[in-house]
Amino acid sequence: MGKMFYKSIDFGLKNSSISLLNMPNGIYFINIKKDGKILATEKIIKQ
């Protein structure tokens, strides 16, 4: 797997990007919340 600098997350009608430029390599879990409810969960692996 190559280097990943941005992750696009699709949830419903919205699309968001997360920059990983300043993050160290590792495994990240992202929760997208609205009004305290989790809309989506995404696992990101940066190598």
pLDDT digits (tens, 9 = 90+) for 10-33: 666 567 777 888 889 999 988 888
E strands present in the chain: 6-11, 14-19, 26-34, 37-46
- Residues in contact with 11: Cβ distance below 8 Å, sequence separation at least 6, in sequence order: 32, 39, 40
pLDDT digits (tens, 9 = 90+) for 30-45: 888 888 888 888 888 8
What pLDDT does residue 37 have?
Answer: 87
What pLDDT does residue 1 have?
Answer: 46
- The CA distance from 6 to 35, in Å, is 26
What pLDDT does residue 36 have?
Answer: 87
Contact 46, 1 (CB under 8 A): no
Strand-pair category, 26-34 with 37-46: antiparallel
More confident residue, 47 or 12: 47
